[in-house]
Amino acid sequence: MSVAEPREIVLFRHAKADWPQVSDHERPLAERGRMDAAVAGRKLADTAVTFDLALCSTAVRTRETWKLAVHELAHRPKTHYEERVYEASPGELIAVLNEIPDDVRNAILIGHNPGIHGLAEVLAGGSEGDARERMNRRGFPAAGFAVLTFDGTWKSLEPGVATLTDYWAPSE
């Protein structure tokens, strides 16, 4: 792949989690979360982005969200479960994304708030338009996702270099 071709990164927040008496890392999805994860998968399929790689937090709720969402995609990407995504700040998430090999064109990151929302804000910089307006109005609810494009290598991904091109939340 040429580094001149635009790349796409989808930032996907896990679906609604339940609150049983387990550690935060072990929290499963709630019933509504399981339904929303499948719907989000269908909406991801509608974006027509073909993912070469999925980076998913090791938390139970993110793994369950991804398992339900990826089932809706025509192409299942290689999935890497990355413990550094759990409770990561936007800067820590950028560091993880900077490690993606350059032969990967499009990737999806399945993680948690506030990191995922913060990362979308930081990467999108001055992006304007309908997707940005909807994200500003809605925030980044459970099972929501943002699609961003950027030029260059994964190592060059940094604040302000991406454009927010799409945004979806379960209530839309």
Give the tens place of pLDDT for each residue, 35-73. Answer: 999 999 999 999 999 999 999 999 999 999 999 999 999
The boundaries of the domain holding residue 89 are 7-168
Residue 96: its pLDDT value, please?
98
Residue 126: its pLDDT value, please?
75
Residue 27: its pLDDT value, please?
97
Counting the structural domains of the chain, the total is 1
Tokens at residue 93, please?
A: 């998430």
> Has this prediction a pTM greater than 0.85?
yes
pLDDT-based confidence at residue 171 (cuts at 50, 70, 90): confident
Residue 22 lies in a domain: yes
**pLDDT beyond 80 at 16:** yes
Residue 110 lies in a domain: yes
| Mean pLDDT estimate for the chain | 94
137 is in an annotated binding site: no
Residue partners of 151: CB distance under 8 A and separation at least 6: 4, 6, 7, 161
3-state secondary structure of 137: helix
Residue 4: its pLDDT value, please?
63
Residue 2 lies in a domain: no
Residue 46 lies in a domain: yes
Q: What integer is the mean pLDDT of 142-154?
A: 97
CATH code, domain with 127: 3.40.50.1240
Give the tens place of pLDDT for each residue, 113-129. Answer: 999 999 999 999 877 88
Residue 112 lies in a domain: yes
Separation CA 104–CA 54 (nearest Å): 10
Are residues 29 and 39 in contact, defined by beta-carbon separation less than 8 angstroms?
no
Q: Measure the CA angle with vertex 156, ends 159 and 65; round to 5°.
A: 70
